[in-house]
Amino acid sequence: MIDFDGVSKRYGRKQRPALDDVTLTITDGEFAFLVGASGSGKSTMLRLVLCEERPSQGRITVAGREVTSMRRRQVPGLRRDIGMVFQDFRLLPEKSVYDNVAYVMHVLGHPRRVIRRAVTESLELVGLTGMAKRMPHELSGGEQQRVAIARAVVKNPTLLLADEPTGNLDPTTSLEIVSLLDDIHGRGTTVLMATHDDEIVNQLRKRVIELADGAVVRDQARGVYGRGRR
């Protein structure tokens, strides 16, 4: 699903690269945690997968597409295959829960009938049935993040990227959110989640890729947050 081959990313004329010669593969249907301190390169890696940035060096393949040399007009096609969840939810405050999720489908030009069905299914998946008419400010942080996840999966992506999705949530809610992501993974979606949260990483025991100063320092199947480093 994701293939990094000797990828480096340098911003401007900075001496230290944000990513330094990273080579790794995440296969179809895998769930992987991306861990590391702030500034270790986690977000840069996600941005490269989403083609928000281009690598300074190396080759990236996502969902069978060569991203490195991808033309600008082909980028939206790649992104339609990817769902993205952010730490700060990024909901549209003046739209209801239903409209926030439906917005993606409208933007992508789906017919109203398809949108209605997909949004209903998506809200059901994240456990927000009955909250469709609520406004974002009427929801708790966990519920808002569920809406954001529903919005990310409504278009049925093959890959789900999550950038610190539990960063603004309490431990109990964080676990609920991660188990929701695990459910989505169970349906066949590849999940790559950047996180600082040791508790959830330790609890789920999935693959852990640890970055430090832009380099992969640990890549461990069924790993934990801070132990077992090579």
Partner 1 sequence: MRPLFLLGEAWTGLRRSASMAISIMIVTAVSLLFFGVGLLAQRQVETAKGYWYDKVEVSIFLCIKNSSEPSCGRQAATQEQIDRIGADLELMRPVVKEVTFESQDEAYQRFKEQFTNPAFQDTPKEAIPAAYRVKLADPKDYDTMYTAFSGAPGVSSVKDIRAILEPLFRVMDVLRNVAWALAGLMLVCTVLLTSTTIRQVAFSRRRETGIKRVVGASKAAIQLPFMLETVLAVLVGAGLAVLGLWAMVRYGVTQLAARFQDFRWIDMPDVWAVAPWTVLLGLVVGVVVSWVALVRHVRV
Q: For residue 56, what are its two tokens? A: 């300074």
Q: What are phi and psi of 145, to 5 degrees?
A: -70, -30
Contact flag: residue 78 with partner 1 (CB under 8 A): yes
Q: Segment contacting partner 1 (CB under 8 A): 24-32, 106-114, 184-192, 208-216?
A: 106-114
Nearest to partner 1 of 158, 220 (CB atom) = 158
Contact assessment for residue 36 and residue 218, using Cβ atoms and an 8 Å cutoff: no
Q: Nearer to partner 1 by C-beta: 146 or 151?
A: 151
Question: Which residues inside 172-201 make contact with partner 1, applying CB under 8 A?
Answer: none
Among 37, 92, 114, 221, binds partner 1 (CB under 8 A): 92
Using the rule CB under 8 A, is 54 a contact of partner 1? no
50 binds partner 1 (CB under 8 A): yes
- How far, in Å, CA of 138 to CA of 59, rounded? 44
Least Å distance, CB 111 to partner 1, is 8
Answer yes or no whether residue 204 interacts with partner 1 by CB under 8 A. Answer: no
Ranges within 143-162 binding partner 1 (CB under 8 A): 151, 155
Give the dihedral sign, CA 136/52/87/154.
positive
111 sits near partner 1 (criterion: CB under 8 A): yes
The span of 36-44, 99-107, 117-125, 221-229 binding partner 1 (CB under 8 A) equals 99-107
Q: Is 67 in the site for partner 1 (CB under 8 A)?
A: no
* Nearest partner of 162 among 131, 136, 185, 139, judged by Cα: 185
DSSP label at residue 190: E
Does 109 engage in binding with partner 1 (CB under 8 A)? yes
Q: In what order do the strands lie in the sheet with 57-62?
A: 19-26, 2-9, 57-62, 65-66
Helix axes 112-125, 97-107, angle to 10 degrees: 130
CB of 59 to partner 1, least distance (A): 22
**Which of 67, 58, 56 has the alpha carbon at shortest distance from 13?**
56
**Angle, CA of 197, 91 and 192, to the nearest 5°:** 40
108: contact with partner 1 by CB under 8 A? yes
- Binding segment for partner 1 (CB under 8 A), chosen from 34-42, 70-78, 191-199, 220-228, is 70-78
Identify which range of 13-21, 76-84, 194-202, 206-214 contacts partner 1 by CB under 8 A. Answer: 76-84
Which residues, 6+ apart, have CB-to-CB distance to 121 below 8 Å?
A: none
Does position 73 bind partner 1 by CB under 8 A? yes
